[in-house]
Structure 1
Amino acid sequence: MTEVEIRPVGYDDPAAQQLVTAALADLGQRYGGPGDQTPVAPTQFRPPEGGFFVAYLAGEGVGCGGWRGYAQDRAVAELKRMYVAPAARGRGVARRLLEAVEQAARQHGRTRMILECGDKQPEAVTLYRSRGYEPIPHFGYYKDAPGVISLGRTL
């Protein structure tokens, strides 16, 4: 297997934006509509209040993910825009990317990571549960949406 390289980038980096666009299209196919409509701003992913990463295989951007601060609790980070291109799935990219995002949040003083996903993302839920994420009360943009799954874990 080619080594996965994880690089910190700006949310508005061209490789990041290409992957975010693909992530939103994937969510749109799963749930209908334009994908995740949670408001995000590139500035939310700038250290020390957040971070964004692109995963590369053989020099090609194949995955992305980031964290941003959670306004209700400065010790908490929210995972956003986790995505791996279909051709790169099953190769450990998502796990490595999640580890990098968690480590960055920890380095910036966050002690807990939370996330929202949905019941039509079983592979994501499996990954998160395997990393120790457990159900938490719903929060955020989709807190009242049918099928929402909210998870969190101590970093």
Structure 2
Amino acid sequence: MTSAPELTVIQVPVSDPRVEPLLRELGREYSARYGKDAHAEISRYPDEEFTEPYGGQLLLLLEGGEPVAGGAFRRYDPTTAELKRIWTHSAHRRRGLARRVIAELEREAGARGYRRIYLTTGPRQPEARGLYLATGYTPLFDTEADPETIGPLPFEKHLNVTSRINPPKYT
């Protein structure tokens, strides 16, 4: 009996070459589901918004050195991080990797002092909708309505922030 390869969590800039498969597959999936070029959606925010100086982060889960899942957050407002680009490689789905990505992003956002997570997902992404409901996110829309009539589906989650990596300095 062999054990599954260990997963490694790394923080990287969008320019890291290991991020490219994430964005490429995410773009193909958006285009297939929504029937348009997804480049505009993926490039909506400048890459630097997903870095520390701007209040964001991008992380990857690596298995055997290869990216199998990832995601990011950016600053939405002073107390809120916005999740973006949550992705699991199509060959590695149904293993709980997206849950792990979300947990890691929530942990890091909380450590940076964010108290709330906000996100939206598309109406043609029922798997994402189910994932966010299953991980404790509150829908900010009528869950009984046809998702196609709503547009982007917003969710939120309040974090229990008990400590910070960089606590505020008082003078």
TM-score (norm 1): 0.87
Query: In the alignment, which residue of structure 1 is the partner of 2:94?
Result: 90
SS at match of 1:37: helix
Contact residue 11 and residue 58 of structure 2 kept, 8 A: yes
Q: 1:115 to 1:107 in 2, by over 3 A?
A: same
Larger of the two Rg values belongs to structure: 2
1:67 partnered with 2:73: yes
Q: Which residues in structure 2 correspond to 1:35-46 (within 5 Å)?
A: 35=38, 37-38=40-41, 39-46=44-51
Write out the 4+ residue segments of structure 1 that deviate beyond 6 Å after TM superposition: none
TM-score (norm 2): 0.79
Query: In the alignment, which residue of structure 2 is the partner of 1:28?
Result: 31
The structure with higher relative contact order (CA 8 Å, sep 6+) is 1
Contact residue 54 and residue 63 of structure 1 kept, 8 A: yes
How many residue pairs align between the two structures?
146
Q: How far apart are 1:146 and its partner, in Å?
A: 4.8
> Which residue of the other structure, out of 10, 30, 34, is the alignment partner of 1:7?
10
Identical pairs, percent:
32
> Gaps spanning 5+ residues in structure 2: where?
142-148, 160-171
Q: What do you get for the CA RMSD once the two structures are aligned?
A: 1.7
| Larger strand fraction of residues | 1
SS at match of 2:14: coil
C-alpha distance in 1, partners of 2:124/2:9? 26
1:132 partnered with 2:168: no
1:31-85 deviations in whole A, cap 9, x for unaligned?
1112263411111011151000111122211112000001xx3100000011111
> Which residue of the other structure, out of 98, 102, 105, is the alignment partner of 1:101?
105
